[in-house]
Every structure is written in structure tokens, then in C-alpha cells.
Structure 1
């Protein structure tokens, strides 16, 4: 599988392109900003976007999803529980002093453990509320890969002081949905460096005790 992660936008959101080497079909996860860079990665690997997945509806993760849909025709997938965040996109833009992007409701709101597929790649949706009510992660077991959005970070967890955040929920989500994954699972968080499940289970200070 082709996997490229690039930090996009002012807040360095990790946008990940997943592509199948045979079908050349792709999933783009969290196209927050920097569409030209995302398109360059797709062109380099001769990939066609078939799914656009947004882990949660904070501006830095969703801002360019609709633009990417207009260019590629691919549907946008995210949890409709985050629509209240879409409704305050103007307020979100003011938080980081950027222009208000055009953001639309999802073309599809996936159920927990639903499969999101393109030819050659199958990812499982894990609903992990806490950072936002609709936060989700994508787990690709054949690649030992977890795209964790802003739920789990290297030695940290997602903040819960923004609208829709809940500390008890995010801790429950991590402990019940993510930490039981295999030790060697590579975690690509929504920002910052990669980590592994075993590393976070054994050394993440927010998860001790």
C-alpha cells in the first residue's frame, strides 16, 4: 500500500493519502488545507481519489474537503454528530484567524465498525468520541495501521476544552477502542509524529493509572 502523510495548514494537520499500487485508487484522510500539495502526491503515484474521509469537523481537518470533492468527484465521509461544529465554522475560522472555508454535510456518515473501501484497501471505522462527539479513527489491520485523528497522539491525547469535547469520553474511547489493538500497530495521529499502540499503552502519561 502507498501511504504518504503531509502536514497541512497553519496547525500542521496530518493529511494522509492511502493508495493501492494495483488499482491506483486512493483514500484521502483529513484534507485540511494545501490542496496543491495533496494533488501533487496523488499525481506522483498516479492515484484516483475514491473516498475523502474526515476524522472530525475541526477546521484544520475539514477545510479543504469540499474543494477536493469538487476536483475529484469523491464523496466526503465523516460522522454527522460533528455537524454542530460545521455550523460554527465561522467561529472556528476566527480561532486561528483564517478565511471561512466552504464546508458541507457529509455525503455519508459511517457507522461504528463500518468498512470504508477502495479496490485493494479496506479500512474499519472506529467511533472514538471525546475530542469531538463525532470523532473517528481508521484502522487498516492488513497494514497494522491506525489513523487516529486527534484522539490519540504520541504521549498525549486530544484536547477536550473545545466545543464537543469530553475528557471522560476520550479516555474511554482510547482505552476501549484503541489500546486493545495489536502492540505493533503504527499510529498516525492528527498532528505530530507517529507512535505505536504498545508505546502509548505503556508510556502515555494521560493513560497511566
Structure 2
């Protein structure tokens, strides 16, 4: 599998490009900004985007999705419970002092247990509400990898003081959906360095 992580936007969001070396099909996760860099990386690997996945509808994760769709024709998928956040994108932009990006409802909603598949690559959606109502993670069992959005970080967890946040739900989601994964699974959070399920289970102070 081709896996490129690009740090995009003013809040340094981890955008993942997941590609299959044989079919050259790809999934882009959380294209929050810097779409020209994302497109250049896709071209470097001769990849065609088949799906755009947004882990949650905070501006730093979703702002570039519509532009990437316009350039590639790939559908945008995120959980419909985050539509209230999309409707307040102008307010989110004002928090950061940036122009309001063009956003839209998802082409399809991502639901818990849903299979995400391109030629040569298969994963499943874990609905992990708490950081936002619609937060999801993408788990790729064959690659022993989970893209955790802003649900789980190295040594920390997602903030819950923004609209849609719920600290009780967040901890419950992590315990029920993420800590049930094998220890060796690599975690790519929405920001910051990667970690592993085992490491977070053992030492994350928020999960003790």
C-alpha cells in the first residue's frame, strides 16, 4: 500500500493518501487544505482518487474536500450527524480568521461497520462520536492501521469543548471501538505524531 501523510492547513491536519500499487486507485482522508500539494502527490504516484473521506466536519479536516471533488470527480463521504457543523462553516472560519470554504452535504453518509473499498484496499468505518457527533475512524485490518481523526491522539484525546463535543461519549467511543483493536495497530491521529493502540492503552492518561 502507498501511504502518504501530508500536514495541511494552519492547524496542521494529517491528511492521508491511501493508494494501491497495482490498481493505482486511492482514497484521500481529511483533505483540509493545500489541495495542490495533495494533487501533486497523487500525480507523483499515478493515483486516481475514488473516494474522499472526512473523519469529521471541522474546518481543518473538510475545507478542501469540495475542491478535491471538483478536480477528481470522487465522492465525499462523512457521517451525516456532522451536518450541523457544515451549516456553521462561516462561524468555524471566523474562529480561525480565514475565508469560508465551499462545503456541501456528503454524497453518502458513513455509518458504523460500513465497508470502504477500492481495488486492492479494504477497510471499515468505526463511528466514534465524542469529538463531534459524526466523528468516524477508518480501520484497515490488513495494514494494521487506523486513521483516528481527532478521536485519539498520542498521549491525548480529542477536545470536547466545541459544538457537538461530549467527553463521556468520546471516552466511551475510544474504549468500545478503538481499544478493542489489537495492540500492534498503528494509529494515525488527525494531528501530531503516530502512535499505537497498545501504547495508548498502556500510557494515555485520559484512558486510565
What TM-score bracket applies, with the shorter chain setting the length?
A: over 0.9
* 1:29 match: 29
Residue 202 (structure 1) aligns with: 202
Give the 5 Å matches for 1:168-207.
168-207=168-207
CA distance in 2 between counterparts of 1:159 and 1:110 reads 22
Which residue pairs with 2:90 in the alignment? 90
Match of residue 54 from structure 1: 54
What is the correspondence of 1:13-162 to structure 2 with a 5 Å cutoff? 13-162=13-162
* Regions of 4+ moved over 4 Å: none
Where structure 1 has 5 or more consecutive residues not aligned to the other structure, the ranges are none
1:22-56 C-alpha deviation (Å, 9 max, x unpaired): 00000000000000110111011000000000000
Cα RMSD (Å): 0.4
Q: Post-superposition shift, 1:127?
A: 0.1
Superimposed CA distance per residue, residues 124-175 of structure 1 (whole angstroms, 9 cap, x where no aligned partner): 0000000000000000000000000000000000000000000000000000
Give, in whole Å, the separation in 1 of the partners of 2:116 and 2:28: 12
Q: How far apart are 1:110 and its partner, in Å?
A: 1.9
Deviation string 1:57-107 (CA, Å, 9 cap, x unpaired) is 000000010000000000000000000000100000011111000000000
Supply the distance in 2 between the matched residues of 1:123 and 1:19 (Cα, whole angstroms): 12
SS of the aligned residue for 1:4 comes to strand
Determine the C-alpha separation between the residues in 2 that align with 1:167 and 1:110. 22
Q: Which moved more, 1:29-38 or 1:109-118?
A: 109-118
Output one character per residue of 1:4-34: Cα deviation in whole Å (capped at 9) or x when no partner.
Answer: 0011000000000000000000000000000
Tell me by how many angstroms 1:111 deviates: 1.7
Per the normalisation by structure 2, the TM-score is 0.99
In the aligned structure 2, how far is the partner of 1:183 from the partner of 1:21?
27
More divergent stretch after superposition (12-21 vs 111-120): 111-120
Q: Within 1, Cα distance between the matches of 2:91 and 2:81?
A: 18
Q: Which runs of 5+ in 2 are unaligned?
A: none
Count of residues in Structure 1 that have an aligned counterpart in Structure 2:
208
CA distance in 1, matches of 2:131, 2:111: 18
